[in-house]
Each structure stands twice: as structure tokens, then as C-alpha cells.
Structure 1
Amino acid sequence: MAHLQLADGVLNYQIDGPADAPVLVLSNSLGTDLGMWDTQIPLWSEHLRVLRYDTRGHGASLVTAGPYSIEQLGRDVLALLDGLDIQKAHFVGLSMGGLIGQWLGINAGERLHSLTLCNTAAKIGSDEVWNPRIDTVLKGGQQAMVALRDASIARWFTPGFAQTQPEQAQRICQMLAQTTPEGYAANCAAVRDADYREHVQRIQVPTLIVAGTEDVVTTPEHGRFMQAAIQGADYVDFPAAHLSNVEIGERFSRRVLDFLLAH
């Protein structure tokens, strides 16, 4: 683990893989940390220099006053690239990380070799979904985060995976329980306010869309919308719920790696 000093705090990151390989940036989902990508690291770091980080408000990164915006989180990524003297990178983001990827593709495409948008949408949820959740965690504190953890297993994983891989499901969901209420709420607001439905067509870098057929949060229809809007975008779906990288594991890793190596 290492830290990059930003103007208002530190961004926690980790690098794996050969120093001379192309850089791949991984961006976590809401309520998780860089450990959500552990399954992918052994394979991907054979071929790429993998840079993963804790999004502001998560893990060991800075927690500043909210609300945040996806633009703010995207600029954190650019600051990380600049701080490590990385001119261009591949980017893989899941859910909220996929929103950050969309912002980068729209606004900083010259910094990207490729873009992989996993289990995400151009618009995720509504005020009616996000505002009560923000209120609940700010009023309930860490106890509310524990309650969210217990409710998230059904949202993040299919019943079959949760039953056959309970340790893996619990490991990921425990990240949510350990997220600060202030950081979580600030990021909820960023997701709530992001709407790229009229902007994703401006993405011009090679793009792969990954969806889960059992994902009720960001559905295959959301993925197909982005594929249709982004010229030349590839699409794949897996029999998974919201965290397809964890649930599908090796097949997910190899399909995304094939795309990355092609670009």
C-alpha cells in the first residue's frame, strides 16, 4: 500500500505487476475498497501494471466533507495518474467506478487506452432511492452501515453464490460495514447526481461493457443502452448479480484481459 498526497488528504493505492507494462487503473464500487479486485490481480498483473486505489471516502483514503461529485472523483484519478507520472492508462471501473470511468471517457479520453464499464449505468437509481439511504446512514452511524452490509449480500450476489461461497461474499460485504457513514453518504450523493445518458456518446476510446444477467441494480438493459450510445463498444454479460468480477472470477478476468490486451 502507498499514499498519494492530494490538496485535502491522501489517496491510498496499490501497484502490482511489471514496471514496464502498460498501466491498468481499477476503480471500486460504492461501499467497497481496492480489495474487491483481489481475484483479478494474479492474472492481470502478469500482463499489466495494475494500479488500484480506494475511492475518496473509502478504505484508507481521505474522507472529506460531502457531498462529492463524480467529477471530483474523476479528478482524483487524474491527480493519481499525474502524481505517478502516468500519461495514459487502461481503466476498469465497476458500478460507481463505472460512473467515474464514464466521466473520464467523456472529459479526459486522451488519458485512456481503453475503458471497461462493469455493472454500471449512465444513470444509477433516483433521488427516491438515494436520499433515504443518505439520511439513514448519517443518522444511524456505523450501526446503519452494518445493517446495510447484511442487506447488500442479496443485492451484490446471486443466492447460489452467497450460499456456496459465503466467506467470499462476507469478505466483500464487510468492506461496506467498515466504510465511514460520512464517506459513504458523500459518495451516495455523487452517484445520485450523476447522469451521463446524454453524454456517453462522446466517449471515443475502445470500450467494453460488462453486465450481470441477475443484476437488479444496473441491469443488462442499462449496459445495452451504453453499448448503443458508444460507437464500437463491445458488450458481454455473465450469470451474476452486481459484483460480477467477484462472482464470476476467472471467466470475468480472462474476458476483460482479452479486451485489454487487444487495445
Structure 2
Amino acid sequence: MLPHFTLSGPEDAPVLVLGNALGTTTALWNELALPFRLLRFDHPGHGGSAPVEHATIESLASDVVELLDHLDLRHVHYCGLSLGGMLGIWLAANTDRIDRLALICTSARYADKSAWDERMSAIRSAGMQSIADSLLARWFTPTCPPAVVESFRTQLLDVDVPSYLACAQAIRDMDLRPELTKIDAPTVVIAAAQDPATPPESARHIAEDLPDSDLYIVGDAAHLAVVEAPRTISVILDGHFGDD
């Protein structure tokens, strides 16, 4: 299924695909300053993308492959945050489309699935509003401007509920650890020191299993680190993807 997408930036620059976190849209990346041609896409039921009832990491990543084929892009760089990073792991391990990879605030597996079960149960019984405050508290540090937090609350509450649940179940059920050793693309792994959703140890586990990787930990940010630490992350990504 072809997702909603935007393509912007210099036409002669390398293409960098940006994969969003669950519950966010392409607006996630608005604060980054990157000298690349940026291809952003929305997950099913998010932003402008059509809804789904079932999803796996493989099916979501296959939508990205379909998008690359649609745009006749054979090779790209890829950067993903959280769910977007999980798709990046799958793409880099199972296709030859990814030249360089960046994984931000993500995980290859959740050993304790109970938190995902509890979240999905709450949504089914009381809607997205019931989990909004707890998610926003994980996404941002207490010093994040309230207007920014509220803009992401709006994004979250606009998501199609069955699609969110389908993507959440895909995350709950995944185990991408075997995929990591298959990746030969140079990779930068970025964690946020104040991220309770995918803490720095998750990033360390990923970096340890990647044959060619560098690990960075950003201090003043929580899960949506590209929103709270855009300058620092822009410098890291520019250095990584510009290193041809």
C-alpha cells in the first residue's frame, strides 16, 4: 500500500527517507536542518495515509519499498525514530536499498510485552484520549514548551484507532535482533538520556550487534529527541549521511 508522502529539498542532493514514530506524522522532522532531499511518509492511518486493520514490521517496511519503487529510487539513505527505526532495521537487513542508516530512540525487541498489552486494552476500552497524557510524558521532557506538546497531542488523537492498534501489535510482536547482524550499511545509533520508552541501553544493544555502527547519546531530550534536540541530531545526521 502506497503511503502518503512528501518529497522536498535540492533535486541533486542524496535522498534521505525519514520514518516516523508511532502516533506521529511527517511533522515530526520539521525542526531538523538537513542538506538532503527529504522523503517523508506517514504510517497507515496517520496523517494522509489510508488505514489498515492488520500490520507487521515486514508489511509496514514493504510499504516503504513500494514507495521507493513508485518514485524510481533504487538506493537511499534512511533515518527512522522508534517505529520508523524498526522499519529501517528490516529494510537494511532484507533489501539492498539502504546505503546508510540512522536509528533514533528505537528498539529491536520488547522483552516485556505487558505494557503494550495494557496500552492497547486502554485504547480499546476508552479511546486514544485515555493514553495521551502518559505517552506525551514519555515523548517529551518537562521543559518542552507546552505548545509543542499540544501539537503532538493533536497528531496523536487524529490517528485512526484500528491502524494505531495494528501498528502497536506489530511492535509488540517483533523480534528484530536476528536482523541486526545482516546489516552491512554504515549505521549511526542515537539514544536520548531521558527517554523512558527506548532508553540508552536499547541503543547500546542495537549498536553492539551491528557490524558497522557508531553510538551517540543526546542529553536534553526524551523519546521524540528530534523535536527537543534538533540541532545536535542534525549535526550527527549531516556528518553521517554526508560522509560518502
Compute the TM-score of the two structures, normalised by the length of structure 1.
0.89
Following TM superposition, by how much is the alpha carbon of 1:128 offset from its aligned partner in structure 2, in angstroms? Answer: 1.0
Aligned to 1:255: 236
Q: Using the alignment, how far apart are the partners of 1:51 and 1:220 within structure 2?
A: 27
- More displaced 10-residue stretch of structure 1: 81-90 or 127-136: 127-136
1:209-220 equivalence runs, <5 A: 209-220=189-200
Q: Using the alignment, how far apart are the partners of 2:113 and 2:227 within structure 1?
A: 28
Following TM superposition, by how much is the alpha carbon of 1:211 offset from its aligned partner in structure 2, in angstroms? Answer: 0.1
Deviations 1:191-234 (A, max 9, x none): 01111123311111010000001111111111111111101201
Q: Amino acid of the residue matched to residue 132 of structure 2?
A: R
SS of 1:20's equivalent in the other structure is: coil
Q: Amino acid of the residue matched to residue 102 of structure 1?
A: I
SS of 1:160's equivalent in the other structure is: coil
* Structure 1 residue corresponding to 2:120, chosen from 134, 154, 176: 134
Following TM superposition, by how much is the alpha carbon of 1:124 offset from its aligned partner in structure 2, in angstroms? Answer: 3.3
SS of 2:238's equivalent in the other structure is: helix
Q: Using the alignment, how far apart are the partners of 1:246 and 1:211 within structure 2?
A: 13
Moved over 4 A (4+): none
Give the RMSD, CA atoms, in angstroms.
1.3
Aligned to 1:241: 222
Counting helix residues as a fraction of each chain, which structure ranks higher? 1
1:128-167 equivalence runs, <5 A: 128-140=114-126, 144-161=127-144, 165-167=145-147
Aligned to 1:90: 77
Q: Using the alignment, how far apart are the partners of 2:110 and 2:65 within structure 1?
A: 23
Q: Using the alignment, how far apart are the partners of 1:255 and 1:170 within structure 2?
A: 27
Following TM superposition, by how much is the alpha carbon of 1:237 offset from its aligned partner in structure 2, in angstroms? Answer: 0.8
Aligned to 1:55: 43
Q: Amino acid of the residue matched to residue 139 of structure 1?
A: S
SS of 1:215's equivalent in the other structure is: coil
Aligned to 2:15: 23
Q: 8 Å contact 2:13–2:37 — kept in the other structure?
A: yes
Q: Amino acid of the residue matched to residue 106 of structure 1?
A: A
Q: Using the alignment, how far apart are the partners of 2:213 and 2:49 within structure 1?
A: 32
Deviations 1:109-155 (A, max 9, x none): x1011110000011136331112222222333xxx212322222210
Is 1:100 aligned with 2:87?
A: yes
Q: Amino acid of the residue matched to residue 64 of structure 1?
A: V
Is 1:228 aligned with 2:228?
A: no
SS of 2:28's equivalent in the other structure is: helix
Is 1:13 aligned with 2:5?
A: yes
SS of 2:143's equivalent in the other structure is: helix
Q: Using the alignment, how far apart are the partners of 1:130 and 1:158 within structure 2?
A: 21
SS of 1:198's equivalent in the other structure is: helix
Q: Using the alignment, how far apart are the partners of 1:148 and 1:59 within structure 2?
A: 19
Aligned to 1:74: 61
Aligned to 2:154: 174
Following TM superposition, by how much is the alpha carbon of 1:61 offset from its aligned partner in structure 2, in angstroms? Answer: 0.2
Compute the TM-score of the two structures, normalised by the length of structure 2.
0.95
Q: How many residues align?
A: 243
Q: 8 Å contact 1:124–1:218 — kept in the other structure?
A: no
Q: 1:211 to 1:107 in 2, by over 3 A?
A: same
Following TM superposition, by how much is the alpha carbon of 1:33 offset from its aligned partner in structure 2, in angstroms? Answer: 0.8
Aligned to 2:185: 205
Unpaired segments of 5 or more residues in structure 1?
A: 1-5
Q: 8 Å contact 2:185–2:212 — kept in the other structure?
A: no
SS of 1:124's equivalent in the other structure is: coil
